[in-house]
Structure 1
Amino acid sequence: MAIFAVQYTYLDDAELVQKHRPEHRAFLTKKHEEGRVLLSGPKVAEPAGALIIVRGDSVEEVGKLMDADPFNDYGIITERSITEWNVVIGEL
């Protein structure tokens, strides 16, 4: 499996994000336990969003996996990019 960087940009609605964050984190935790999500965390700078490092076979397959993120159901993710990432220094 390859490694992919998934970047989210969130809707500018901190209350909505906060309300649904537990479901979102539970989803990511489950995927981490399954060995699919390697790292995840919010971006510190604006606009609000996250970077998630995911194992997968293709951009399309990772997209389908991340479509199940509850933040999608609530319209919190306004932009998403998925890019294969070739790690050459360091280890995950």
Structure 2
Amino acid sequence: MRAGKPMTISPFHGDQPFWAKRMYELGVSTKPIPEKSMSVASLAERIAELTRHSTLRANAMALSGKIQGERGVDRTVEFIERRLHNHF
């Protein structure tokens, strides 16, 4: 999402179904393709959808801007360093 590109997801394990559904709900992904129903036709359909829907691209770019503005890694490092400093 950081790159601002919409995606097609085929979740198959662990938390992937949750995140695939979440990306679809946010409007940055085509409808997830369950692993067991993946076919050449279903994948080709989703890829075509990615190229047709400007809304998916716009939503992905908007979410990318939010993600880039979060400074998540920097904030995590700062948090850990504060905890270590306070602990020792």
TM-score (normalised: structure 2): 0.29
Q: Which has the higher contact order (CA 8 A, sep 6+)?
A: 1
Q: Which has the larger radius of gyration?
A: 2
Structure-1-length-normalised TM-score:
0.28
Tell me which protein shows more strand as a share of its residues.
1
Higher helix share: 2
